[in-house]
Amino acid sequence: MKKVFIDTNLWVRFFICDIKDQFEVTKKLLENIEEGSFKAYTSTIVLLELQFVLQRLYHLSFEGILDVFDIVRKTRNITIIEKTNFDLALKFYQQHKIKFPDCLIASQLPKDATLISFDEELGKISEVITKKPQDLLN
């Protein structure tokens, strides 16, 4: 079974629904995950970023964010990773000069997992396989 790791921007698109095509493809991916087509992961770093974005940029209430976290936690066939590899994240940060939270996320990927993201900057990390959800589903 293919392993996928869901990045922050997919959750944002799913919960905010502000970019219709990205919402639709994310919704389809999450449906496939719940049906068992993929072994999926996300992480506490992703949830930290999600909380920040939803609160600061979209002014979601505290209760709204708790609801979002509850939905993520209850998504079938998804595992939330808590451990990071700081040394690996620092290596990615030094080599690729991208946002450190993205490097932390990249350090959390399970072996043979594909990072699913709309963020093209993550593609700079050659050690990580990244795809957009539409590329994975096609």
Domains and CATH numbers, the chain: 3-137 (3.40.50.1010)
Q: Give 124's contacts (C-beta < 8 A, 6+ positions apart).
A: 96, 98
pLDDT at 1: 85
Beta bridge partners of 115: 5, 130
56-96 pLDDT, tens digit each: 999 999 999 999 999 999 999 999 999 999 999 999 999 99
Task: Please tell me which residue, 93 or 1, carries the higher pLDDT value.
Answer: 93
Nearest by Cα to 113 from 50, 47, 43, 45:
43
**pLDDT interval class at 6 (50, 70, 90):** very high
Q: Which DSSP symbol is given to 58? A: T
pLDDT at 138: 84
Write down the pTM of the prediction. 0.95
Q: How many whole angstroms separate alpha carbon 138 and alpha carbon 130?
A: 15
Measured CA to CA, the distance from residue 64 to residue 72 in angstroms comes to 13
